[in-house]
Structure 1
Amino acid sequence: MRLSVHVGNASLNTMEEISSIAVVSPSILEGKKKKLKGTPKSIKKQKAPDVEVRETPEGDITRKKSKGNLFKNTNFPTDNTVTKSGKKKQTKSPDTVSVKNNKQKLKVTPEKRKSDTSYDGDDDGSTKSTPKRVKFTPGKHSTPQETPNDVTKSTQKSVKQKRTKKKANVSLKSDKTGDGSSTVSEPSGVNTWAEALERAQNQETDVSWEQAVAKARGKPDGVGEGEAEKVGAGKSNSRENVSEKGQKKVEFEKKSKKEFGSKVMKLAGKTLKTLTGKAAKEKENKNSNKRKRESDAAGKKEDDKTKKPKLEEMSKKDRKKVRKMQRTNFEVIQQTKKIWESLRRHDLKAEEKTKLCQELMNMVRGKVKELVFAHDTARVIQCLMKNGSQEQRTELFEELKDDLVELCKTKYSSFFVKKVLKYGTKAQKNAVFKAFHGNVRKIVRHTVAAAVLEYGYNEYATAAQRSALMEEFYGPSFALFKSPNVTTLEQILKEQPTRRDMILSNMKEAITPLVDKTVLSHTIVHRAFFEYFTYASNKARMDMIELLRENIVHMVHTRDGSRVAMYCIWYGTAKDRKVIIKSFKGHVVKLCKEEYGHMVMLALFDAVDDTKLMEKAVLQEMLKSLYEVCFDQYGLKVLLYLLSPRDQVYFHPDVIKVLELGDANPNSKKDAAVRRKELLSAVSSPLLQFIVDHTKELVMSNSRLLLILDILTHAEGDPTAAMEAICKIAAEPFVSGSLENFHIIEHPAGHMTLKKLIKNDAERMKQNEKVLFTDILLRTVSESSLKSWAACNRGCFILITILELNNEKMSAEVKKRLTSVKKSLGKMEFKGAQILQSKLNEA
């Protein structure tokens, strides 16, 4: 089967020719001055299309482009026929060059005739098209016949003249066909390839083009053989009438078009070779670049293996290891750490421990100063100081004795100094305190070194050594010249009264920078502040209070610190006291439970006139945790002080003496009795309710016995509910000698509670109180329960206490209930039964 496409008189017989003609011919026809509209800007970058050939049912050839997108946005003319209804119908030409890509199918049909479209040229070289109706007549080589409505021949001639004057602007568009494929047709108004030849040769007619179209088109759909023969006959007759001049003209035209076709094929071949050559070259360059990159990567890997890695390229763990390796004693450090791991075990035998200590000492000898400052090796030296022999400890100390102050200031080496204070000899400890001389004021400001000084001052310093350390706050002369016989500031002021102002001035200068430091919590600092407040004037105290008032809460945990806080409360103004109270927010319960902190609470109760502020800021927070405060040794004293302030039954005389130092303060204006009554009224109701809620726990506790008695005696309000709660416990069935559940009658604390509450009724009767505990007890306890009390010694003494109240009504009630047990009491041997029997026999 032979494949051919006719363009004019040129016949394209191969796939390369077909594909290349679509690429090259428009630019050639236009004289390479104007590119084809709708095609890519650079034809050289396009690949040659792949063409697929298939045979149609009529025996014609359809060529499809399988890859590429060369004919995108390109339209070639299609045949338009008019149906009987007057509508246009697109007919598919048998000879169709169809191009498809992945998404659309493009069909290239032969061009329309010149009579299909009328052109209206614009000034800029573009054309406007108006489609015309075309009517086909039967015949093998039938040509379209113009309808009466079509334009005249003169009009066509004028259109042709316009075309020869202006350049053609080829615009290719894609139209969708009914079957889903895209038909590429040349829009009306655009010159065909044959017309371009005509302009080039200045010819007006195009007979050869009509012949080529008719031959390519074949029989139109619906045209019979007879009609086709008629059409062919009509054509042959017309050809015979052509003049000799016309025949020469046709021959010249055929020859020219044939030459043109050969030129087109040559140029198309060259273009195709150029495109394929460039593609191959680009592919080769791409492969060579890839090989080059691979070789570079391989070379880089080899270089990385041989090249020394940079620190920033390493992981954190590797960098740490490299830094350790750069240390001078790296090998020694690694070996000592291994020995230390074995030496620190608790189950190590004494012989092995001695051997390891000696081995470790041999390794660190002469290098102790270098190792003691590092975080890991410092632990090795500490372990050797702890587990080594006395000779080894001395050897370590001798290497470091000249740098003790420096060691105190470093985070890890400071622990070695603490180990010297703990495990060293007396001479070594004295050497440490001697190293502090002249440096105390500097050391106390240093966070790390102050902790070492605090440790030595509290745990291992003697009274003379503590005094020597404190003397450095008194002035430079005391730091340089120590007085061995002087132990306190009071003694110094007695011996040298003229130096009082100088000493206090130096102390103020030394302790003022410590106010905002974390070292404010250390004991030695508290001692310095306490001595200053003790001997300073009122004005100097008030100035220091203003600086210290917001940080008082950090000092109340020591004896001297709590005294400083008490001085601030006593001699501070109302504003200072308010700031101090607010600084205690969130710490009230803790203060109540501290050995020295609870003294600050007692000073607040004695000195602060603003009882409303005390109630909101202090008492409410304390009452929220009343159980916790009540069952604490020091919290109980706080509650008792609210109920019975400075009562010697509950408080030691020394404590009362200390509290009395604040009575002469110049800032407390309210009468002490009024102040105490206002505070008592704020806590009375919660305390009475507390007895109701926790009766059994309170009555069975020895230390809480006094609290119950004090609450029922001094609390404002009706105590009936609290007394009834206690009596209900006493009314429970009693079995003498039962060890499972101690009854309140036999309980050591319980029976004492009842006795004291009954005795307290004597005082209540003197005060004409209507509510008496004994009266409620006799109403609550049944006769049988009261008789059962007489079966034990403690029960008998409770009954004797009721009879000794000298209340005739109550005594008569008890005697009446115990009449039946008089004889039984005579048979009992314990002392209480005998006394009870004698009381009952009395008239």
Structure 2
Amino acid sequence: MIKGDKRKSETDEETENSTKKPKPTDGKGNISKDDSKSTFQKHPNNQTPTQKPDWNTLKKEKKELKIKRKQANKFYDVIVEAKKIFETLRQKQLKGGKDERNELIDKLHGLFVGKGQYAKVIFAHDVARIVQFLFKFGNERIRKEVADELIPVTVDMLQSKYGRRCLKSMLMYGNSEIRSASIQKMYGNAVKFTSHAISAAVFEYAYSTWATPKHKQCLVQEFFGDIYKQVKDAEVKHLRDVYQNSPNMKTAALQATKANLSRVLNKDLLDSGIVQTVLYQYLSECSPDDKAELISQLAPHAVVISNSKDGAKAAMQCIWHGSNKDRKVIMKAIKEHVKDLSKHEHGHCTVIGLLDAVDDTVLLNKMILTPILSEINALAADEHGRKVLLWLVAPADSTHFHPLFINELEEGRAASSSKKPLEQRRQELLNYTVFTLINEVISNTNFWMSSGSIAMLTLAIVKSAPIEHLQDALNEIAKVVVNTEWTVDKDDEKLLGIEHPGLHMILKKLIQHDKVFAEAEKPTFSSSLLNEISDETITKWLTINRGCFLFVALYENGTEELQNLLKEKLQPRIKKIKSTKSSGAKILLQKLK
């Protein structure tokens, strides 16, 4: 029976298969592509579309979930209350005035103090802002109580995105004890902080702004080896002091310093005073091979490392000891920042170092001098920018540059790879710049005689001016000087230019330089002045003490011909001079006898 049923089922199956239409093939037994597509067609979606979600309900549920999650934090209620008070304190004016503000600040502080909560909540952005507010507007007691809880977690704060801002406020508004305690907590982590993207900026702020010389010495030591992370040595003020009494330690100290600097270099975190100090000390002590390797890494960052005294010295080391390729990289890096660097307190030394040591003056003119000459007035008006312009027309002149700086440049240049004779290099730079400078003086004389410091630069430019432009420059200066309406700003007041002490000194120096001009058979300022001066100006000058002294300077430094011309102009006013009681008038009267 079973066998019969089985045979019947097999027969039925064979009959069913025989009635099926055979599938077309490609001749190789494979089903054709067209048929395969029809075989795997998707069934039509007969389901009804789902309803749109209620977004308001979803948002509400999400908000409730967020609140529940926050409520799991044991500080939730305290933080909510603190934020309410903080929102009130942020108002510019309160109804209760200063008393209400102080009361709210005390209440806000009372929510956290004495419970160890400050150290736990400052890593959140909202509470971090509250703590910064307390440091800024709280009284001395509040600042101290907050600082006492935060100082132990200084290391964690520095590495926190929001905690570091609280640390910065603590340093900014805290007293010297708070700052000192905070910085001492950083001991042992100097290398770590300078090579950490989050902590580097605030650590630099602490080091450069608030660290005492002793703090700086202790932090710098940590770059010289791990031993100095735990133990500080008051005798180690420079890298060389590590091995001064133990020469066998030199290799280890240099290797440790190199490794620590490499950590910072790999992160490009060179905008740091402590790093720049270590760079300068290392470049002064390392071997020529290590120096060449480091210079090639530092060359593209010449602008960044020039923002501190030691950083500028490190940049100058790169200029002196770098190859021609390195110098080209340095110039390329500086090219776009010449104006700002020239006006920087320390960066202008880097620019002067380039002007003093680079042999390729053609490239120097293209990359450095051209941007400088396009910003002449802006540089002339700046204390440090003037130094750069003065180096072009009066290099190594002790009248304008400190002897120590001149000696430093001489020593660096002597040890550098520069080959071109010094005077030739300086003359080439002067030839590139002097015509532009003297033409600026001629075309905008009022600006170039607007203050004593700018006039000092004007004097240096005139002294180095080519003879074909000298007469025009002297004439234009004379026209400004003899103008009775010539005034300059001094201490927010208008002052006659002739009475300005700085300008008076410059005019006397220019008159005294006439002897040099005369020996070289060049035009003199005295001649231009007497040719331009009017009777009105003479009369006014005789009533001014410094005006009389200018006439004395003209007489003392002039030729016999000029003295006679001066007497001729002043003789009709002898009575006026006698009636004037100033010391300048008395001396002038004696000269005219």
* TM interval, short-chain normalised: 0.7 to 0.9
The Cα of 1:521 is off from its aligned counterpart by 0.4
Which amino acid is 1:720 matched to? Q
Residue 533 of structure 2 is aligned with which of 769, 772, 781?
Answer: 781
Give the Cα separation in 1 of the matches to 2:503 and 2:416. 46
Which amino acid is 1:732 matched to? N
- The residue aligned with 1:756 is 509
The Cα of 1:823 is off from its aligned counterpart by 3.5
Residue 387 of structure 2 is aligned with which of 612, 634, 637?
Answer: 637
Q: Deviations over 1:579-624 (max 9, x none)?
A: 1001012100111101101111111111000111111111110111
Give the Cα separation in 2 of the matches to 1:771 and 1:611. 31
Contact preservation (8 Å) 1:699, 1:753: no
- The residue aligned with 1:723 is 474
Secondary structure of 2:162's match?
coil
Which amino acid is 1:766 matched to? E
- The residue aligned with 1:407 is 157
Alignment of 1:807-818 (within 5 A): 807-818=559-570
- The residue aligned with 1:120 is none
Which amino acid is 1:813 matched to? L
Give the Cα separation in 2 of the matches to 1:828 and 1:575. 67
Counterpart check, 1:798 vs 2:544 = no
Counterpart check, 1:545 vs 2:279 = no
Contact preservation (8 Å) 2:486, 2:497: no
Which amino acid is 2:85 matched to? I
- The residue aligned with 1:655 is 405
TM-score between both structures, scaled by the size of structure 1 = 0.59
- The residue aligned with 1:145 is none
Give the Cα separation in 2 of the matches to 1:345 and 1:788. 60
- The residue aligned with 1:682 is 432
Give the Cα separation in 2 of the matches to 1:592 and 1:666. 22
Distance 1:326 1:757, change over 3 A: same
Counterpart check, 1:512 vs 2:258 = no
Secondary structure of 2:222's match?
helix
- The residue aligned with 2:107 is 359
Distance 1:323 1:698, change over 3 A: same
- The residue aligned with 2:22 is none
Contact preservation (8 Å) 2:221, 2:236: no
- The residue aligned with 1:455 is 205
- The residue aligned with 1:342 is 88
Give the Cα separation in 1 of the matches to 2:140 and 2:495. 58
- The residue aligned with 1:713 is 463
The Cα of 1:785 is off from its aligned counterpart by 4.4
Counterpart check, 1:496 vs 2:246 = yes
Which amino acid is 2:512 matched to? K
When structure 1 is superposed on structure 2, of 522-531 and 384-393 the one drifting more is 384-393
The Cα of 1:392 is off from its aligned counterpart by 5.7
Give the Cα separation in 2 of the matches to 1:583 and 1:326. 51
- The residue aligned with 1:323 is 66
The Cα of 1:346 is off from its aligned counterpart by 6.2
Alignment of 1:101-500 (within 5 A): 309-310=57-58, 314=59, 319=62, 322-327=65-70, 328-329=72-73, 330-344=76-90, 351-353=99-101, 355-364=103-112, 365-387=115-137, 396=146, 400=150, 403-423=153-173, 429-500=179-250
Give the Cα separation in 2 of the matches to 1:319 and 1:658. 68
Q: Deviations over 1:281-340 (max 9, x none)?
A: xxxxxxxxxxxx9xx99xx79xx78x9955xxx49xx85675354212444332210112
Contact preservation (8 Å) 2:194, 2:272: no
Residue 771 of structure 1 is aligned with which of 512, 517, 523?
Answer: 523
Secondary structure of 2:198's match?
helix
Q: Deviations over 1:174-208 (max 9, x none)?
A: xxxxxxxxxxxxxxxxxxxxxxxxxxxxxxxxxxx
- The residue aligned with 2:324 is 574
Give the Cα separation in 1 of the matches to 2:155 and 2:183. 10
Contact preservation (8 Å) 2:555, 2:566: yes
Which amino acid is 1:774 matched to? S
Give the Cα separation in 2 of the matches to 1:419 and 1:472. 26
Residue 311 of structure 2 is aligned with which of 551, 556, 561?
Answer: 561
- The residue aligned with 1:268 is none
Counterpart check, 1:825 vs 2:571 = no
Report the identity percentage. 33
Which amino acid is 2:387 matched to? K
Which amino acid is 1:727 matched to? A
Which amino acid is 2:319 matched to? I
Give the Cα separation in 1 of the matches to 2:503 and 2:179. 54
The Cα of 1:546 is off from its aligned counterpart by 0.6
- The residue aligned with 1:98 is none
Structure 1 residue runs of 5 or longer lacking an equivalent are 1-292
The Cα of 1:387 is off from its aligned counterpart by 5.0
Distance 1:428 1:792, change over 3 A: closer
The Cα of 1:625 is off from its aligned counterpart by 0.9
The Cα of 1:691 is off from its aligned counterpart by 0.9
- The residue aligned with 1:699 is 449
Give the Cα separation in 2 of the matches to 1:752 and 1:415. 51
Residue 622 of structure 1 is aligned with which of 359, 367, 372?
Answer: 372
Distance 1:618 1:836, change over 3 A: same
- The residue aligned with 2:483 is 732
Counterpart check, 1:673 vs 2:423 = yes
Contact preservation (8 Å) 1:372, 1:412: yes
Distance 1:440 1:688, change over 3 A: same
Secondary structure of 2:415's match?
coil
When structure 1 is superposed on structure 2, of 394-403 and 775-784 the one drifting more is 394-403
Contact preservation (8 Å) 1:700, 1:749: no
Give the Cα separation in 2 of the matches to 1:826 and 1:400. 77
The Cα of 1:793 is off from its aligned counterpart by 2.8
Q: Deviations over 1:490-538 (max 9, x none)?
A: 4333233321121111111111232243521011111121111122233
TM-score between both structures, scaled by the size of structure 2 = 0.82
Distance 1:499 1:824, change over 3 A: same
Distance 1:517 1:792, change over 3 A: same
Distance 1:446 1:668, change over 3 A: same
Q: Deviations over 1:646-675 (max 9, x none)?
A: 111111223223323312223100111111
Which amino acid is 2:204 matched to? E
Give the Cα separation in 2 of the matches to 1:384 and 1:744. 52
Give the Cα separation in 2 of the matches to 1:778 and 1:689. 23
Counterpart check, 1:603 vs 2:344 = no
Which amino acid is 1:685 matched to? F
Contact preservation (8 Å) 1:463, 1:487: no
Secondary structure of 1:646's match?
coil
Give the Cα separation in 1 of the matches to 2:583 and 2:173. 60
The Cα of 1:372 is off from its aligned counterpart by 1.6
Give the Cα separation in 1 of the matches to 2:190 and 2:486. 69
Distance 1:730 1:439, change over 3 A: closer
The structure carrying a bigger strand percent of its residues is 1
Distance 1:372 1:786, change over 3 A: closer
Greater Rg, structure 1 or structure 2? 1
Contact preservation (8 Å) 1:734, 1:785: no
Counterpart check, 1:531 vs 2:281 = yes
CA RMSD of aligned residues (A): 3.2
The Cα of 1:465 is off from its aligned counterpart by 2.3
Give the Cα separation in 1 of the matches to 2:379 and 2:277. 29
Give the Cα separation in 1 of the matches to 2:259 and 2:187. 18
The Cα of 1:722 is off from its aligned counterpart by 0.9
Distance 1:375 1:762, change over 3 A: same
Contact preservation (8 Å) 1:464, 1:487: no
Which amino acid is 1:807 matched to? T
Distance 1:346 1:518, change over 3 A: farther
Give the Cα separation in 1 of the matches to 2:376 and 2:85. 54
Structure 2 residue runs of 5 or longer lacking an equivalent are 1-47
Give the Cα separation in 2 of the matches to 1:366 and 1:735. 68
Give the Cα separation in 1 of the matches to 2:157 and 2:536. 78
Give the Cα separation in 2 of the matches to 1:507 and 1:691. 50
